[in-house]
Structure 1
């Protein structure tokens, strides 16, 4: 008999619960196993073998819960789970869980607990967290209690699954964690690790922080500035590697262009003077002035192209995920220079 088998026909149902793989069950799940409310209350008496951990959620042992049990208890409390528990089949971190592994709906782990599950070394161990943040739809009637801190959202994110646990994407988990942190160093460490360890791009983090209205906090703004600097440094390193590994001609790096005796045309991350090809890393952060900043990018690009200079824009994400494809884009622009009219003469200065 496995733990999905109803026990309502067994004369001694409690004996069979010792074989349940996960020792956390809800009232509805216990009922499906043939355990009445009276029997549950009897098992949870002072000094008894069970304990009520959260409203409607029970630990089938008297000791403290494991980190896994805490996570599943919070999800059982906050989510709409089926009466019969699904088998706990381990999943690879970040992988999509098969349908049978998704016993929870309308509940996703977020905040510091989610970052720990994503593998952040700067996030605390699960057992050291006083509370576990769980996302639920905004209209759910649910209050924080015990170790479950309810975070309401108008739009539930698509979770990834870590060992069967639904976890918010890193940018959303970061925003929810930062919302509860006043320690500037802790915020900076989390944001920096998100980019340095390759969990996500800076733009995605800033977008979530903006939506959460956290950029009015000075310590968050300072951390974001460090995040953007970190992101640009990593993107530049990838750009150098792309040129080297895919055999592109060496450009001049980090230059300003000017017309002779005329105005400043703008700064570039790389420029090939003989082919009149310019490359710019698009590291804009989606803040409130994004439209104005994009207009500035567009004006610079249009001005350079009127002078016969081809401008290639590359985002850090494309450079990370499709470096070979971006190298092909640059190589194609360099080869096409032979078919274009000569570009206007410009002055190239170090930036």
Structure 2
């Protein structure tokens, strides 16, 4: 018995149109197509073509962008058989029909509908994120990006895609155009795809912050992210009926030291709100050391904590709010602030502090 012939061929009805047109050698065998027949179909002038090693397009014309996408995933993922679960039935984070790989880089951003990313059709290569132990090489339309730890998979139209922050880092790694990098990072924040801190963390891990054009883009990204978060703070106060506060002020003891700046302050209730926009950074000689990155993150947190403890010793309540919480749960954050304002009536009066514009 020919080992290429399965006991019972699988039907094609559960596959999407693109998946019907692009199959791996293993999938063809599962559908009853022997290796010899596949080779015969792919001869010059034949009805099929081999697009990547072990991956075939079942028509003679140029492959579409969707077919190239599926081909790259099949090549990198090496699934043993055709998918048994329709794409629309799979859940977020589930291991997909392509194994443990996912689209990343510019191709992923195109799937996320980034207007600043080129369309799939114009990309020469599809970036696919694979485990670092995967023994394959980039070839044809598939460029393999190796990951020490694979992130959680997102599903976009039934296609496994890397999270936006990781996809951005993999895209930026291939770009030398400063304007293109800035446009991508800016759109990620303006479009609420992810928070600036997540992007900077991925760029740090990818050791990209030694590139001047990336550093410049990150500075713009952080400024953009803070401006958006501040707009949401204004919306929180306005839309949820909080009393009018003082905005962007410095606090000082009379004739004494500077206590620090806060984003919102209610002097009568002695309640302050501070945006927590910490993001890890690295120097050129840091080479992305996780230990150094962690120590800096802890250092920034220590500075926040010291300021908060100092203010609270003076009787001032400090509410820390992250941009992510403002984006995802504005009403809940307003409730936290309102609770702090109401609780001020039950506290001892705070120390007198001088409030100056920042």
TM-score, normalised relative to structure 2: 0.89
User: 1:242-321 alignment to 2 at 5 Å?
Assistant: 242-287=236-281, 288=293, 289-321=296-328
Moved more, 83-92 or 298-307: 83-92
Q: Which residue of 2 aligns with 1:58?
A: 56
Long gaps (5+) in structure 1: 1-5
Residue of 168, 190, 194 corresponding to 1:174? 168
What secondary structure sits across from 1:22 in the alignment? helix
- Structure 2 residue 92 is the aligned partner of structure 1 residue 96: yes
Instruction: Give the superposition deviation at 1:48.
Output: 1.2
Distance 1:21 1:325 in 2: 44
> 2:351 pairs with 321, 344, 350, which one?
344
Aligned to 1:226: 220
Equivalent runs, 1:2-151 vs 2, <5 Å = 22-86=20-84, 88-90=86-88, 96=92, 102-151=96-145
Give unmatched runs, 5+ long, in structure 2: 282-292
Shift of the alpha carbon at 1:21? 6.1
Could you tell me whether the CA contact under 8 Å between 1:91 and 1:162 is conserved in 2? Answer: no
Question: 3-state DSSP class of the match of 2:20?
Answer: coil
Asked if 2 retains the 8 angstrom alpha-carbon contact of 1:82 and 1:103, the reply is: no
> Secondary structure of the residue that 1:122 maps to in structure 2?
coil
Shift of 1:140: 1.1
Shift of 1:318: 0.7
TM-score (norm 1): 0.91
User: How far did residue 90 of structure 1 move?
Assistant: 4.1
How big is the shift at 1:254?
0.5
When the two chains are superposed, the root-mean-square deviation of aligned CA atoms in Å is: 2.1
TM-superposed deviation, 1:40:
1.2
Cα deviations by residue, 1:203-229 (Å, 9 ceiling, x for unpaired): 111111111111111111111110100
Q: Say if 2:147 is the partner of 1:153.
A: yes
User: What is the CA-CA distance between 1:8 and the residue it aligns to?
Assistant: 7.0
How many angstroms does 1:291 deviate by?
Answer: 2.3
Deviations 1:304-345 (A, max 9, x none): 111111111111111111111111111111111111111111
State the Cα deviation string for residues 154-203 of structure 1 (Å, max 9, x = none): 11111111121100000110111111111111111111111100000011
What CA deviation, in whole Å up to 9, does each residue of 1:208-253 have, x standing for no partner?
A: 1111111111111111110100000000000000001110001000
Deviation at 1:97, TM superposition (A): 7.3
> Relative to 1, partners in 2 of residues 1:179 and 1:9: Cα closer, same or farther, differing over 3 Å?
closer
Aligned to 1:334: 341
Match of 1:3 in 2: none
* 1:21–1:88 contact (8 Å) kept in structure 2: no
**Cα gap change, 1:139 to 1:307, in 2 (>3 Å):** same
Q: Aligned residue pairs: how many?
A: 336
Q: 1:341 to 1:98 in 2, by over 3 A?
A: closer
- Which has the larger displacement, 35-44 or 59-68? 35-44
Q: What is the deviation of 1:292?
A: 2.2
Sort the Cα spacing of 1:285 and 1:145 in 2 relative to 1 into closer, same or farther, 3 A: same
Structure 2 CA distance, aligned partners of 1:228 and 1:9?
57
Q: Confirm or deny: 8 A CA contact 2:93 2:152 kept in the other structure.
A: no
Q: Distance in 2 between matches of 1:9 and 1:326?
A: 58
* Distance across 2 between alignment mates of 1:319 and 1:87: 37
1:24–1:72 Cα contact (<8 Å) kept: yes
